[in-house]
Amino acid sequence: MNDWQMKREGNEDQHRNNKRTYTKKIREEKSFNLQMGFSQDNLKGFVLALSSSAFIGASFIIKKKGLRRAAAASGVRAGVGGFSYLLEPLWWLGMITMIVGEVANFVAYAFAPAVLVTPLGALSIIVSAVLAHFILNEKLHQLGILGCVMCIAGSIVIVIHAPQERPITSVQEIWSMAIQPAFLLYVGSVVVLVFIMIVHFAPQCGHSNVLVFTGICSFMGSLSVMSVKAVGTALKLTFEGNNQLLYPETWFFVLIVATCVITQMNYLNKALDTFNTAVVSPIYYVMFTSLTILASVIMFKDWDGQNVGSIISEICGFIVVLSGTILLHTTRDFERSSSFRGSYASSSPTLSARLCNGNGEFMKHEENLLPDEAICFQRQEMH
């Protein structure tokens, strides 16, 4: 009996020693990751985010081509309530490409913080702009190329100074973050603003102001990212052996994701069909990324534990990315208005007029001008 007790105590001591050794090793790895500024999980999230940007950037162009074909075949555009694009194979190819990109993005959020993953979406703008230059004949100016370079440079700065992902052990832990008073206030504000834009602003000026449709997408997108991160983390823990599908919180987050994605898809289609791809992409990115980072900082407290220098570097990198996207947008808008003035010999149109004609049909001088675009331009010129 004494020998058995001694053996048992010896096994317990060995178990405690192994546990202390494992804990020490984990702490050393975390300390090393903090010093290096980039963990294995962040690396996985980074690679997935890059792949996502490539697919999503290409999907903008493919869907745009599909929307044009559908409008030409049916005479009713998605921007005015048409749904003929659902019968267009090219549009579905674009949707599949976007889904692949979104899946990669979905998985990226399970490994890396939103402060790292979301700004990398700027690379999709670069992909979209380059492909639009060659496929849609939407010329990319030299200043637009500079904007692309700025997006890349800013993304590199953000990646280098990205915070480490906080370890999460259950979806209930995420739920406790989601019901914080500060985040609930953010959610309530988003719901109210989106409701006002859908009910009041979309019918009145949705087809003349690009900020309406993209604003709805961006606000809903910030909530969808938070829910996607929750669902992705739950699936990651489930695959690791800690089943999170048993908790109702997981399925609530799934419902939020579905609601937000459906709303985003609807109004993003309207924005793409009504305005130029070079206008929609950067504005959507700027609004979506800013709101998503804000929501993530409030909910997940990504910047807690980071030094002031790293936070400032991330903010500066983000500002560089925003400047690049704005430069790219401004350059394309200037080229479109210059081409328009040269063709019609009219006075300089307002920004709203140029955005109204954002599909690029005027810019490319297509022979078959759609009636909706002509009416839109005439209304803007009257003011």
- The radius of gyration computed from the CA coordinates of the chain, to the nearest angstrom, equals 24
Question: pLDDT (tens digit, 9 = 90+) per residue, 270-320?
Answer: 998 888 776 787 788 778 888 998 898 889 888 877 788 888 998 999 899
Q: Give the dihedral sign, CA 192/197/200/203.
A: negative
Q: What is the pLDDT of residue 18?
A: 47
Q: Are 246 and 255 in contact (CB under 8 A)?
A: no
Q: What is the mean pLDDT of residues 162-186?
A: 89
Instruction: Say yes or no to pLDDT of 361 above 70.
Output: no
Confidence band, pLDDT 50/70/90 cuts, at residue 381: very low
More reliable by pLDDT, 178 or 360: 178
- CA–CA dist 243, 235 (Å, integer): 8
Instruction: Say yes or no to pLDDT of 133 above 90.
Output: no
Confidence band, pLDDT 50/70/90 cuts, at residue 337: low
Q: What is the pLDDT of residue 353?
A: 32
334: left (phi over 0), alpha (psi -120 to 50) or beta: alpha
Q: What is the pLDDT of residue 9?
A: 55
Instruction: Say yes or no to pLDDT of 355 above 50.
Output: no
Specify the pTM.
0.66
Of 83-92, 172-181, 183-192, 366-375, least confident by mean pLDDT is 366-375
Q: What is the mean pLDDT of residues 78-91?
A: 75
Q: What is the mean pLDDT of residues 169-184?
A: 93
Q: Are 339 and 315 in contact (CB under 8 A)?
A: no
Mean pLDDT of the chain: 77
366: left (phi over 0), alpha (psi -120 to 50) or beta: beta
Confidence band, pLDDT 50/70/90 cuts, at residue 6: low
Q: Angle at the Cα of 222 (from 220 to 223), degrees rounded to 5?
A: 65
Q: What is the pLDDT of residue 373?
A: 39
Confidence band, pLDDT 50/70/90 cuts, at residue 48: very high
Q: Which of 30, 108, 169, 127 is nearest to 292 (CA)?
A: 108
Q: What is the pLDDT of residue 334?
A: 55
Q: Are 302 and 163 in contact (CB under 8 A)?
A: yes
Q: What is the mean pLDDT of residues 235-258?
A: 93
Instruction: Say yes or no to pLDDT of 348 above 50.
Output: no
Q: Which of 90, 52, 124 is nearest to 282 (CA)?
A: 124
Q: What is the mean pLDDT of residues 157-184?
A: 88
Q: What is the pLDDT of residue 370?
A: 41
More reliable by pLDDT, 329 or 52: 52
